[in-house]
Structure 1
Amino acid sequence: MSEELMWIEKYRPKTLDEIVNQKEVVISLKRLVNEKNMPHMLFVGPPGVGKTATALAFVRDLYKDEWRNNVLELNASDERGIDTIREKIKERFAKTLAIGEIPFKVVILDESDAMTNDAQTALRRIMEIYARNIRFILTCNYSNKIIEPIQSRCVVFRFNPLSKDDVINKLKEIAQKEKVKVLPESYEHIYEISGGDLRKAINLLQSASLFGEVTPEIVYKIAGAIKPKEIREILDYIVKGRFLEARERVLKLLYEDGIPGVDVVYHFHREILKLNVPEECKIRLIEVLGDYEYRLMEGSNEEIQLNALLAKMQLVCKSYVK
Structure 2
Amino acid sequence: MAPVVPSSQPWVEKYRPKQVKDVAHQDEVVRVLTNTLETTNCPHMLFYGPPGTGKTTTALAIAHELFGPELYKSRVLELNASDDRGINVVRTKIKDFAAVAVGSGGRQGGHPCPPYKIIILDEADSMTEDAQNALRRTMETYSKVTRFFFICNYISRIIEPLASRCAKFRFKPLSEDVMSSRIVHICREEGLNLDSEAFSTLSSISQGDLRRAITYLQGAARLFGSSISAKDLISVSGVIPQDAVQALLASCRSGDFELANKEVSNVISEGYPVSQMLSQFCQLFEVIVEANDISDEQKARICKRLAEADKCLVDGADEYLQLMDVASNTMRALCNMPMEFSYE
Return the TM-score normalized by structure 1. 0.91
2:285 aligned residue = 272
The C-alpha deviation readout for 1:188-247, integer Å capped at 9, x for no partner, is 222222111111111111111002132222222212211234312321221221333233
Deviation at 1:99, TM superposition (A): 8.1
CA distance in 2: counterparts of 1:287 and 1:126, whole angstroms: 45
User: Is residue 72 of structure 1 aligned with residue 60 of structure 2?
Assistant: no
SS in 2 for 1:43: strand
State the match for 1:178 in structure 2.
Answer: 190
Q: Which amino acid aligns with 1:300?
A: A
Structure 1 residue corresponding to 2:41, chosen from 30, 37, 43? 37
Tell me the alpha carbon deviations over residues 77-127 of structure 1, each in whole angstroms, 9 at most, x when there is no partner: 634634335433334564252584201011111101111211211222332
What secondary structure does 1:170 align onto? helix
Query: Secondary structure in 2 aligned to 1:162?
Result: coil
CA contact (8 A) 1:71 1:107 kept: yes
C-alpha displacement at 1:150, in angstroms? 0.2
Q: Aligned to 2:210, which of 161, 184, 198?
A: 198
Corresponding position: 1:25 with 2:29: yes
Give, as a single letter, the amino acid of the residue that structure 1 aligns with 2:287. Answer: K
Question: Given that residues 77 and 111 in structure 1 are in contact (C-alpha distance below 8 angstroms), is that contact kept between their aligned partners in structure 2?
Answer: no
> Which of 265, 276, 290 in structure 2 is aligned with 1:251?
265
Residue 214 in structure 1 maps to residue 231 in structure 2? no
**77-86 or 39-48: which moved more?**
77-86
Question: AA paired with 1:113?
Answer: D
**Is the 8 Å Cα contact of residues 86 and 128 (structure 2) preserved in structure 1?**
no
Equivalent residue for 2:56? 52
Paired with 1:300 and 1:199, the residues of 2 have a C-alpha distance of 31
Q: Counterpart of 1:189 in structure 2: which amino acid?
A: T
Q: Aligned AA for 1:307?
A: M
1:232 is the counterpart of 2:246 = yes
Matches of 2:103 and 2:173, distance apart in 1:
34
Task: Give the length in aligned residue pairs.
Answer: 319
RMSD: 2.3
Instruction: Establish whether residue 97 from structure 1 lines up as the match of residue 83 from structure 2.
Output: no
Alignment CA distance shift 1:268-1:179 (3 Å): same
Is contact 2:251–2:263 with CA below 8 Å preserved after alignment? no
Taking a change above 3 Å as real, the CA distance of residues 9 and 16 of structure 1, as seen in their structure-2 partners, is same
Equivalent in the alignment of 2:111: none
Q: Does residue 10 in structure 1 map to residue 32 in structure 2?
A: no
Q: CA 1:271/1:98 → structure 2, altered by over 3 Å: closer, same or farther? A: farther
Secondary structure of the structure 2 residue equivalent to 1:226:
coil
CA contact 2:90–2:131 (8 Å) conserved in 1: no
Indicate which of 289, 299, 302 corresponds to 1:282.
299
**8 Å contact from structure 1 (residues 48, 200) kept in 2:** yes
3-state SS of 1:273 partner: helix
1:296 aligned onto 2:313: yes
Which deviates further from its counterpart, 158-167 or 60-69? 60-69
Local SS of the residue matching 1:274: helix
Note if contact 1:44-1:158 (Cα within 8 Å) is conserved in structure 2: yes
Q: 1:50: Cα distance to partner?
A: 0.5
> Which of the pair has more CA radius of gyration?
2
User: In the aligned structure 2, how far is the partner of 1:46 from the partner of 1:279?
Assistant: 34
CA distance in 1, matches of 2:265, 2:130: 43
Cα deviation, residue 52, structure 1: 0.7
Where does the alignment leave 5 or more consecutive residues of structure 2 unmatched?
Answer: 107-113, 338-344
Question: Which ranges of structure 1 fall in alignment gaps of 5 or more residues?
Answer: none
CA shift for structure 1 position 163: 0.5
Q: CA deviation at 1:319?
A: 2.2
Query: What is the deviation of 1:185?
Result: 1.6
User: 1:258-306 CA distances to partner (integer Å, 9 max, x unpaired)?
Assistant: 2222221111112100234536243332121001111111111111121
**1:241 correspondence with 2:255:** yes
Paired position in structure 1 for 2:274 = 261
8 Å contact 2:98–2:146 — kept in the other structure? no
More displaced, 229-238 or 18-27? 229-238
Contact 1:272 1:282 in 2 (8 A): no
Per-residue deviation, 1:26: 0.8
Structure 1 residue aligned with 2:328: 311
Return structure 1 stretches of 4+ with deviation > 6 angstroms. Answer: none
Q: Could you say what secondary structure the match of 1:131 adopts? A: coil
Counting aligned pairs with the same residue, the percent is: 37
3-state SS, counterpart of residue 135 of structure 1: strand
Equivalent residues of 1:77, 1:112 under 8 A apart: no
Secondary structure of the corresponding residue to residue 149 of structure 2: strand
Query: For the residues of structure 2 that align with 1:225 and 1:120, how far apart are their CA atoms?
Result: 37
Conserved? CA contact 1:77–1:114, under 8 Å: no
Name 1:115's counterpart in structure 2. Answer: 127
- Letter of the 2:282 counterpart: H
